[in-house]
Each structure stands twice: as structure tokens, then as C-alpha cells.
Amino acid sequence: MIHDIANLLRSFAEKEVTALEEAGIRHAPTIGEMYEGLTADILERTIPPGLDLKVVSGFAHDHEGKLSNQIDCMLVRGEGTPVPYTGKFMWHIKDVIAVIEVKKDLFSKGLDEAYHQLREVLETHSSWIQNDKGGGKYDVTPSRRAFSEVTGIVAPSYAKLSSLSPDIEHIFHAIVGDQFAPIRIAFGYGGFNSEYGLRKGFVKFLEDKTFQLGYGPQAFPQQIVAGGASLVKFSGHPYRAAMNDDKMLLLASSAANPLLIMLELIWTRLSYIQVMPELFGDDLQMEGFSPLLWAKLAEHPQNPCQYGWMLTAENYSKKALEEVPTFTDWEPNVLTQEQFTIMNKLCRNETIDLAEPELRKFITDAGLEFDAFVDSLIETRLVARNGGTLELTTVECACVTLPDGRHVAADNNTGRLSRWIDRFMRRREDHTTQPE
């Protein structure tokens, strides 16, 4: 369903952009309003029925009534305050789900403007969170799972977070922060002429920001769009990747439909508020991504015991980017017989003690090195380490032996594995019934 809706939205957007261009308006503020109105129309079409959500423009405010700069599009819930004699609203930041800064064309200047506009929204939210007198309770279950898949470590309780190394603890806070802060999107209908150009433009934007505040993982928007390409933040909701040694993937690029990525971001947040897995359809295709920025916590060279994020850009040639598939088929993890045996035990017992003599004997008798085997389980992202034990990161892990003899496992909480097996069996049946 999500792919069909995203494709319809893209066709609608392309048609409307053509109409706006043919209108012949040359007044810059009016052009801006036209594209903001188009974006609001598109966003309204993405709202699932039955939710108390609105799309407005105006201002977000914190607990003290301090206003943000004007926001082009806000997806909000609850009630706001109309700004007299305008069509705009003032909305409490706690009820702002997503904000979109709209540009007809996104080039370097517009990128800088959009980044700072969106960062101010984050700062407004942070101000409210830090001064929230209501003592609200927050369910961080989605963040705990994302953290485990990224780091391979089960997230401890808040009281024991200090037991983590500083870099891993900072990753936890970054993931939790993006679960609750408004989703922030810079959306340019045109601009940088390719995925390669957008990547290059963003890296150049960051080059003179060394040792400046406001350019760490938390401040980055979730999505930056220029034409048909996106930069997407990998902070766990929903996009995430396992760490590469001691570095976290922070930003990746994609040539997939930007409206599909926007839907994934917004609908994932809405699913945290109300369960609605049917929105995502069969969910058997994944957007193709090319890593752009890796983040590693590092000690400040002039100020020991102060930490900041060191960002490393990964370079892809234009040709290499063009060769990355726009979409790939989702596949469950294919397991060895030994991995399958241990995964089944995890599904039954929930945890496995790594000091258990029988476990080590089982692995070594199979001719495998113990630590490497444990690492291979964690690399599936279905399993994480919790001190001296292994635990599942999944909601509903399922292990299956296929007719071709392969062993597979995946989280089946949304029925994705079941749908994949149904498709696998249909294709297998079609293949076996083909005449020779």
C-alpha cells in the first residue's frame, strides 16, 4: 500500500509542479506560498483516516510561549491557537509530529536556510523536554530495539546507562531523542541535479562547521530532498544500520521516491502512537541506500573529557551511485545449522548464558570459533548481547526451514516473514510447474 500511495503522490506532485510553472508567476514570495500550499496538500493526503491530525503552517512554541520562526508545513495533533487575521496557527511543540521546510529549488543557500530553520524546531522541543514540569512518562521501546540492532547491545535501564561507554551512551540518547522530537524535513522540488550533487553539496555545507555546536547527529534533519534524491538520517525510526566497527551510520542517500521515504518516516512515528501495520502493505521491498556520513564520538583535542562527533564522509562516484538499485527485495536472515539451533533456543528461552559449558561445547564440536560464532549471531540484528547473555531484539522472532533446505529467521511481528514465505512458495510452485 505504501508504495502505491507514494507513487500516486509523486504523479500528483509532478502534475501540480508543471501547473505552477505554467502559471507564469514571477513574484518570489508568491512562488514560495504556491509550493508551500502544494506541500500541505500532499501532506494532507498522507494522513491515515481516523486520527486527529491536521496540516497547518505557522509557529511552534515551548512551555514559556517562545515562538519558533515561521514553519511552512506542520503535521500536528490536538488544538492550536489561530494567529489573528491570517490562516496560520501557533502550536505547542509537544503536539507537532513533523515539520517541512519547503523550497522550490534546494541549492546551497536554501540548504543552509532550511537546516537552521529545522534546527530551531529541535531546539524548541529540547527546551520543552528539559523543562517539562508534568513529569510525563515516555515509552522508549522502539528506541531500545533500534539501539540493540545498531550496536548489538541490549539497552540497559536509565539508571544503568552510565555503565555503557560514552560513545554507546551518546548513540542511545540520539536514538531516543529522534523518537520524540518532531520529524524534520527539508523538501526541495528541484535543486541539486543528482544524488551525487546533493551528497557533494551537503558535505561542502559541513566543511567549515568543525567544532561548531549544532551539527551533531541530533541536529540533522531526518530527510533532505532535492528533486528526485534524498539524504536520509539513520537514527532508528525507521532507518538504521549496524555499526561499522566503532562508527554509526548517520546519513545515507537514495534515489528512491522521496515521498515514499517521507511516508516511511511519518507513518513509523504514527505507528508509535497507534498500531497500524496494515498501512505498510506487504513491506517486501527496501529502498536502496548509499552511506554518506559515519559518526564517531571523539574527545575534544583541546578540552579533555569533552566529547563531540567526528564525521567521516564516504565517497561514491556518480557512476557508482547510479549502479545502486533503487529498491532491493527484503530477505530474511539465512542461517547455518548451528545458528538455526541457537536461534530456536533463543525463541524458546528468550536468553542464553554465554558461560554455559554446553553452548561452548556445541559450537567448538562443530569446528567453529566461539567468539566469531557469537558475533555472527549478533550480525543478524535479531540478537544482541546483554552482559554475559544473548537476547533477541525482536518482537516475534520466527525460525523456518524452507523446502530447499535453507534455514531462515526474521521478526514476524507484522507478518512480513509469513508474506515472504507465501511469495517464495508461489514462485517455487510456478517454477516447478513450468513445462520443460
Region 250-256: mean pLDDT is 97
Report pLDDT for 435.
54
b/e map 244-281, b = 16+ CB within 10 Å:
eeebbbbbbbbbbbbbbbbbbbbbbbbbeeeeeeebbe
pLDDT above 80: residue 304: no
Report pLDDT for 212.
83
% of the chain surpassing 70 pLDDT: 96
Residues 76-128 have pLDDT tens digits of 999 999 999 999 999 999 999 999 999 999 999 999 999 999 999 999 999 89
Domains of the chain: 2-329 (no CATH), 333-432 (1.10.10)
Q: What strand order describes the sheet that includes 71-77?
A: 81-82, 89-92, 53-61, 71-77, 96-106, 183-191, 223-226, 229-233, 248-254, 290-299, 307-313
**In contact, 148 and 181? CB cutoff 8 Å:** no
- pLDDT tier for residue 386 given thresholds of 50, 70 and 90: very high
pLDDT above 90: residue 4: no
Report d(CA 419, CA 284) in Å as an integer: 8
Report pLDDT for 135.
57
- pLDDT tier for residue 11 given thresholds of 50, 70 and 90: confident
Report d(CA 330, CA 417) in Å as an integer: 9
pLDDT above 80: residue 260: yes
Report d(CA 24, CA 386) in Å as an integer: 62
Residue of 112, 244, 40, 122 whose CA lies nearest to 32: 40
| pLDDT greater at residue 167 or residue 231 | 231
pLDDT above 70: residue 136: no
pLDDT above 90: residue 129: no
pLDDT above 70: residue 196: yes
Report d(CA 411, CA 415) in Å as an integer: 8
Report pLDDT for 130.
84
Place of cell 539513520: 234
Report pLDDT for 178.
96
Q: Which three cell numbers stand for residue 358?
A: 554446553
Place of cell 555545507: 205
Report d(CA 430, CA 216) in Å as an integer: 51
Question: What average pLDDT does the chain have?
Answer: 90
What region does 216 belong to: left with phi over 0, alpha with psi -120 to 50, or beta?
Answer: beta
User: How buried is 178 (Cβ within 10 angstroms: 0-12 exposed, 13-18 middle, 19+ buried)?
Assistant: buried
Report pLDDT for 278.
63
pTM over 0.85: yes
DSSP conformation letters of 205-228 = HHTT-TT-TT-SGGGS-SEEEETT
pLDDT above 70: residue 223: yes
% of the chain surpassing 90 pLDDT: 67
What region does 188 belong to: left with phi over 0, alpha with psi -120 to 50, or beta?
Answer: beta
Q: Which of 6-15, 38-47, 223-232, 361-370 has the lowest mean pLDDT?
A: 6-15
The angle formed by the CA atoms of residues 269, 350 and 389, to the nearest 5 degrees, is 100
Report d(CA 433, CA 436) in Å as an integer: 9
DSSP β-bridge partners for residue 175: none
Q: How many CA atoms lie within 13 A of 389 on its CB side?
A: 14
| pLDDT greater at residue 319 or residue 28 | 319
